Structures are given as structure tokens and as C-alpha cells.
Structure 1
Amino acid sequence: MNNLHPLLSYLVEWGAMDKTVGTSSPTLDIVLLRTFLEVVDSGGFALAAERLALTPSAVSGHIKRLELAAGDTLLARTTRRLDLTQAGETLYAYARNIVDLEREARARLRGSTIQGRLRVGASEDFAGTWLPQVLQGFHRWHPQASIELKVGITADLLRQQERGHLDVVFGKRCSRTNGEGELLWREPLVWAYASACAADLAEALPLAVFPEPCIYREAALAALGSVARPWRVVFESGSMAGCLSAALAGFAVTVVARSQLREGLRELGEEERLPALPAACFYAFSPRTNPAARALIEAVRSIGQRSRFMAARLHGG
């Protein structure tokens, strides 16, 4: 046993522990676990069904079977939102690890068939927030593949992809597209400001934004215009790190996806007379025939949804 790869050793031990439960006990079917993760990450049954190519009733049936196997209620459903119960939170963490380990085991047992250079375009929030974790897992699963990364604005990256210069693009929109791109997840945009600074925002709202075109900037200005809230751009940067630094310093308010909030920043809202912002839709744009791109997209989906879920728990969303 000591000579086994740590991953395979874990799976063998996990299987052995499962046998101690008894043959009459329902097992945690990995298909049901995948459905559970998709429901939580998507925020509902309808979108999960769409992404899994199932009917909503089939998705509901999967969750009922998983709750039966778990012996507890996993989701607290109301007409307006979907929340995890305490048992659901526990199972989510295990389910994510189990599904990731199963994917890694399949990749190792097959041997890495993905090799060569993958040309990737990503908006800066993708590149700075999620890609470091994604690349670590992707390299572990596909050590013979290499990645060439270009960071830029989604619209510019898509034009480069049309000219054949990029294999896959990760970007964002503030609305769902029809047939263009693959929706990875949705999450709210929020107003971010320094936690240590009092929000004295009685005058025109000081903003730190990206240059045009930028959906975060467009969403912020449209929301402020809808409530006739005065604003002024006091900091403009093509770098997300720059906008976050301005917010951390208390110099300006910026707009980010909720999972991009970090230590030292807090979310502003009604108390500061700030309007609600729309959700951002995060997409992958790539031909479905490219296996390397598909592998990277699945890695991004897994990491990005996990980050969104953890942020929602942290900020009560």
C-alpha cells in the first residue's frame, strides 16, 4: 500500500471505509454528487438542468436520492433562494474533493493524451483571481501540455480568436448571450471599498474603474444613472490590481464580482445609498472539438464555482 500513488491510496482507503458501512446503506453516487455540485454552483435547479442536459424533474430526483443516501436534508429551498443546510455545506466540501479526485484518477489512468501549446486569452479578473489555481491542477492532470496566456479585454480577445490567434477565451458579460460562448457561472457585482475607512460618500461618488469598454464600468454607471446618483471617476486603470488598490486605500469605490472581494475590502449597499448591481456572467469561448481547451474549461469551471461558493458563504450571499 505504501508504494501506491497518494491519490490511488486515498481511493482504495475510501472504498474500504465504504464497505464498513454495510451493504444495506445507500452509497454516495458520484453522478448524484455532480448534480448536487451543479445545483449549488448554478444557484438553482433550472440552470443546473440546462448545463447537465437533464430535465428539472430529473435534477430534483437526483437531489432527493442523494439526500436519502446522506440521511439528511441538503438544500433549504424557498420561492426566492436556495441555501445549503449544515449537512449540505459538509457534503459540498467532500463532494467537490471526490469529483476532482475522480477526474484526476481518470486522467492518470488513461495517461495524459493532451499535449502541445494551448493559446489562452483571459480578462484580467480571470487571470488574477482564478487561473493560478486552475493552472496548478491543469498541469498536474496534463503535464505534457503548455499554455500561452494573453490578458486583455474580452471583446479584443474574441476578435483575436476570430483571426485564429487564440484557442480559448475566458471573459465576462452582464447578460446571458444567445448561443455564443459557454456560461460557466453567474455571480453578483458589488461595490467595494476599504474596510478600515468610513464611507463618507455624501458628495459625488468617487469611482475607480477600468477604461472603456468594460462591463464593470458600464454596470456601475448605468446603476448610478438609474437613481440619479452623482459620480466622478477619480482613478482609472487597465489593471484590476490598480482599481483594488484604490479601493483598499479608501481613495475610491470600485466594482468587482463578489468572489473577488479580499481582506481589507467590504461591500457597500443601501446604507450608502448605492443601487443594486447586475450579475456578471462568466463565459468560455472555444470550439467544442478542442480537447485541451475542454479540459482547461472544466478546470476553470470547477475552481471558479468553488471560489464563488466560498465567497457567498463568507459574505452571506
Structure 2
Amino acid sequence: MEKLLKVNNLHTSFYTHVGEVMAVRGITFDVEKGEAVGLVGESGCGKSVTMMSLLRILADTGKVKEGSALFEGRDLVKISNQEMLKIRGNEISMIFQDPMTSLNPVFTIGNQLMEPLLRHKRMTKHDARKKAVELLKLVGIPEAEKRLSQYPHEFSGGMRQRVMIAMALACDPKLLIADEPTTALDVTIQAQILDLMKELKNKISTSIILITHDLGVVADLCSRINVMYGGKIVEQGTKRDIFYNPSHAYTLGLLGSVPNPKTLIKERLKPIDGQPPDLLKPPEGCPFAPRCKYAMRICEIKMPPYFEISEGHRAACYLNHPYAPKVEGFKGRGRE
């Protein structure tokens, strides 16, 4: 399949009064046309910062230090601000994390939906309004014509999230970035939003990057998964690789802390003890070593290289070295 986005060795830092926070530390991944890719990890690991780096919407203290992000051959890191304005919201759109605060409270829903159409597609107000009604119907909002003149506070959380998705899809983007799109929603609405995203992906062949800490969400939508920790991608593979052959201790920990509805035996969940690394002073070795019960001395001294587990599946964990001790759950054994 053809690559839509290729991110290579991306580094992003924030320069604060207490020092440099190295939020993203050399990550590499790609997205193919029409594919949904997951970016998974706990809060603070650098998922959202990675996407904001690509769209160049970092805070004033943030800076992309090195690396490239080729979107259909154009490097998003190096192109001019004018070129970026043409891409952002048009060819690449983003659903932000909190639907409660992402919409402007002083503008109507219609106003906010029509803005990208007027700016990027140069539509007339009449045509933009007509398209806005179609978008609201597409994401399952009833009485779409009436809803255009309402304000965000008149919508529920699930409805606002649907509006955010409609705004992101307004210009038929080639890439949709969904940052925790179901976090603030109840379980029923979560399922509806995920079903909607799957339907839209199949209907208009939009590529999706799904940012989440919920493994159940990526299992339902994504074909490939990148596991991120401490500003680095520690494991990459297909959905089957990650769930049935986890090859990094952090991935194993994530899977162990998720309830398994298929098991008939009642088991306690196994939380990952400890805290994420301080990215003001990131460790020289594996960032997960202080929390890893399998950590060896070398893990604390030197960052492990990527070990190729199988085609398209790699993990930066010394437990994959031929001389490492055997650990339950690795090397295709799967989870029971």
C-alpha cells in the first residue's frame, strides 16, 4: 500500500523556566492510505505532542528539534506557514481530546462548521450551509437544519463530539487525527462514535491516527498499533502482534491491567507500579526500566535497540535478546 505519512526520527522539546522537557525523543512510524493506525500509551508519554508537532500547533515554548514528517512527499516540519495553513484543517484534520472545550461557546454550531468550508473550499455561504447540514446528518445528529443555529452549550457531550467529527471531516481530509475521541463519553456513546469512525473510514477512505490509552478502542478500529512510553515508541506491530505476541515489558504490563471478559476465572488486575520518567532528565537506558519487574542491569545503562520479532513487528526491549531470560507471554505464546 502507498504511504500517506512517513514520520522519521521526530524530536520535540519544550523550553521551560526549569529546563528542557524532551517530550518526543526520536519516533518513527508511517500511515498508509485508507489505514487506521493506533498510538497507545499512558498520559504524558508524548502522543498528543507528536500530533501537534505534525500540525505545527505547539505552544510557544515547544519546538521540533529534528526529524521529518513526509505527507505525500511534503515535509510538514519544513514547509512554510502559508503551505501549512492550506494543509491544516483541509488535508489533515484533528479531533481534539475534550469536546466540552474544543468548540467556541460564543459562535453557533453552523458558524463553526461553515468556517473551514468558506476558508478552504471557497464555497458561498449558501453552499457552505447546505454542506454543514449534510455533515450533521452524516454524523447522526437529528434535526440538522435547526441545530445549525444553536450554541455548543445546547448540545450533550456525545453530540458535541459528533460535531467535532463533522468539523474535522468538512473538507474531506486525507488524514484524520483522533485524539482520545471517546474519553469524556459514556460507554454507549463511545461505541456509537467508534462505529461512526469505522463507517466513515470505509465510506470515504480517510486514513486515521487514533490516539488513546484504551487498548479496547484500538483493537476495534486499528490494523496497526504503536506503543509509546517516555517519549519513545517502544513497540510496533499489527493488532495481532500486539495482543497475541507482546514483545515489550510495557506492552505486557498494559495488557495485564485490562480486564479480560472471556475468562471464567476471577482475577485481580495487575497495575503497573511506579511513575513515568521525568523528561526533564530522561534516563539513558530504557525509560520503563525503573517500573519493570524484568529489568536487567543493561536496561538502566543503555537504551535497547529495536529487535525484529517478525515482519512489521519490532520492540525496543532486551528481553528479545537471544541470551535474555525467558518471560511468560513473550515470543508468540499469547495471553490466555
Instruction: Tell me the TM-score normalised to structure 2 length.
Output: 0.23
Give the helix-richer structure, 1 or 2: 1
